[in-house]
Amino acid sequence: MEKKNHEKFNNIVLIPTDFSEVCDNAIHHGIELASSLRYSVCILHVINREAKSKLKKENHDISFIGSQLNAYTEKYQKEFGIQIDTKHVEGSIFNEINKVATDIKANLMILGTHGKKGLHHLFGSHTLKVVLESPIPVIVVQHKSFGQGYRNIIFPVSNDMEPRQKVQWTKLIAKLFNAKVQIFCSLEKDPVMNNRLEIITRQITDNFDESELEYTIKVADKTGNFADQVLSYAKANSADLIMIMTRPNIDLPGFSLSGWDEPLMFNEGQVPVMCINPVELGNYYWEWIIPF
């Protein structure tokens, strides 16, 4: 498999919007993060059938979309001093968002959502699919503001995912915001599974140690629904960001997520969640997942 490197990316944060309040919040998250990364921003609106119908009903043409997008540039570009581009395309939301991400070689996507109950209101039934099929990591944002940034990061570790592929992005964000990483491990009573989990955790902490990253380790007090345990831990520890691997049913060993990623993405605590789809790497992880 070809190695990922910076030549494949253009240092762009892609932010789709439907001009709703929650998408405005996602834009603010994305611009703040891009400013810290010294990336540029591309704000995207997909004109699907519903959008066309709304434009017609309100007696607007497509140029109205351009004026709405330009308002973001005028508002943020001078304040943050970064390049902010806008783009509008026609088509289905699912197809076009990920196509644009690939075409512009974006590094990262920030996706606003009203939560699971609001999926149909925001981007239709394709919202979850956009995340799971994204060629790049996606930070799912609800109404929680950016605040002081992602200073308290929850890093779940269990045997039903491949957590090591989250390491490089975790290190990058933690260093940007001088963050503390809280590794939260599932409780495994089976000796074989527990041994596997300990090996994975040790590999992660060794890598964090090499980068002089501040972290803590907590093992769940009991077995049970790990998603619920992660969310309870995140709430109790005032988390700013949760790091997860996504893409259920991927045909790779060790990548069965048992559907626990979805409740984390759309958590009621509205903690932003960074979703990274796993890729097949054989026995190598850190050297191949290079997000910048």
Whole-number percent of the chain with pLDDT over 70:
82
pLDDT the model gives residue 224 = 87
Residues 272, 172 share a domain? yes
pLDDT the model gives residue 251 = 47
Provide φ and ψ at 128, rounded to 5°: -60, -40
As a whole number of angstroms, the distance between CA 87 and CA 103 comes to: 12
Residues 217, 137 share a domain? no
Residues 132, 63 share a domain? yes
Pairing verdict, β 138-141 and 273-276? antiparallel
Amino acid at 71: A
Domain contains 95: yes
DSSP the chain: -PPP-GGG--SEEEEE--S-HHHHHHHHHHHHHHHHHT-EEEEEEEE-HHHHHHHHHTT--THHHHHHHHHHHHHHHHHH-S-EEEEEEES-HHHHHHHHHHHTT-SEEEEE---GGGHHHHTGGGHHHHHHT-SS-EEEE-S---TT-S-EEEEEE-TTS-GGGGHHHHHHHHHHHTPEEEEEEPP--SHHHHHHHHHHHHHHHHHHHHTT--EEEEE-SS-S-HHHHHHHHHHHTT-SEEEEE--TT-SSTT---TTTHHHHHT-TT---EEEE-----TT--TTT----
Could you give the number of structural domains in the chain?
2
Domain contains 282: no
Domain contains 191: yes
Residues 176, 128 share a domain? no
Residues 179, 85 share a domain? no
What's the CATH number where 204 sits? 3.40.50.620
Contact 8, 34 (CB under 8 A): no
Paired with 237 in beta bridges are: none
Chain centroid to Cα 251, Å, comes to: 22
Q: Taking 50 as the threshold, does the pLDDT of residue 249 lie above it? A: no
Paired with 13 in beta bridges are: 41, 108
pLDDT the model gives residue 19 = 92
The pTM for the full model equals: 0.88
Residues 161, 263 share a domain? yes
As a whole number of angstroms, the distance between CA 134 and CA 150 comes to: 22
Q: Taking 80 as the threshold, does the pLDDT of residue 7 lie above it? A: no
Domain contains 147: no
Q: Which residue has the higher pLDDT, 278 or 279?
A: 278
- 38-61 pLDDT, tens digit each: 999 999 999 988 888 888 888 888
Contact 171, 206 (CB under 8 A): no
As a whole number of angstroms, the distance between CA 24 and CA 142 comes to: 10
pLDDT the model gives residue 117 = 52
Residues 136, 16 share a domain? yes
Boundary residue ending a domain (85, 108, 141): 141
Q: What is the CA radius of gyration of the chain?
A: 19
Boundary residue ending a domain (87, 109, 141): 141
Contact 87, 100 (CB under 8 A): yes
Residues 132, 159 share a domain? no
Rounded average pLDDT over 139-157: 96
What is the chain's mean pLDDT, rounded? 85
**Nearest 10 degrees: CA dihedral of 188, 193, 195, 199?**
-100
Contact 170, 153 (CB under 8 A): yes
Scan for tokens 């380790």, then name that residue: 217
Residue span of the structural domain in which 170 resides: 152-276
pLDDT the model gives residue 120 = 45
Chain centroid to Cα 280, Å, comes to: 19
Q: Taking 70 as the threshold, does the pLDDT of residue 265 lie above it? A: yes
Range in 12-21, 159-168, 189-198 with the lowest mean pLDDT: 159-168
Residues 219, 103 share a domain? no
Domain contains 241: yes
Residues 180, 123 share a domain? no
pLDDT the model gives residue 119 = 44
As a whole number of angstroms, the distance between CA 131 and CA 277 comes to: 9
Rounded average pLDDT over 114-120: 55
Residues 259, 174 share a domain? yes
